[in-house]
Copies of this chain bind each other. A is one copy, B any other.
Amino acid sequence: MYELFFQKFNEKVPLTSEEQEQIKAYLTPKKLRKRQYLLQEGEVCRAIAFVEKGALRAYTVDESSNEHIIQFAIEGWTISDLYSYLTGEPATYNIDALEDAELVLITRTAHEELLRTQPKYETFIRLLITGAYIALQRRLASNISLPAEERYTCFTETYPDIAQRVPQHMIASYMGLTPETLSRVRKKMADRR
């Protein structure tokens, strides 16, 4: 159940098996069916979810009830409303499963205990967030400086697995485009070959 989680953990910070058992005691497994919510806007985000299996997304809904996809997460990645998680403020994101999923949850209390007692956990989290920050900065740079087509190419090259598993209209939303526009961009690309 925790294989991938500890694989990723060990890649960042090697653990002895005692440390691993110690940490494991704080983790909560959770299964989610497709379309089930992990978090709804307005609730407090109680856990960081590491994806062992399946796919999830985080999204907002605006006044015109358009969905805007903030983030995808598949095997090996984490997802949460970090702001809500850390501050206890109501979440602004919804998170739900795009496929049946198996998660490893780090609840807020587990997080705080682990930070207090296990220095390697703090290092792990620091590296995790640093990686997420760098990835996000790339995404933002591509968003403000590239035209739609290059943004899409860039996305499919960086995340070929997500591009295949997720409906196109969600990818459009992730890139800040309408489904129609992405459809046309793809057509134009196809016509050129």
Contact = CB atoms under 8 A, between A and B. Distances in A.
A140 interface: yes
Contacts of A145: 60, 62, 66, 68, 176
Given A62-B145, A129-B126, A133-B132, A140 B86 contact: no
A183 to B, nearest CB: 18
Number of copies: 2
Given A86-B130, A123-B122, A126-B122, A139 B141 contact: no
Contacts of A122: 119, 122-123, 126
A134 interface: yes
A136 interface: yes
Interface centre among A83, A123, A133, A174 (most CB of B within 10 A): A133
Interface of A: 60, 62, 66, 68, 70, 82-83, 86, 119, 122-123, 125-126, 129-130, 132-134, 136-137, 139-141, 143-145, 173-176
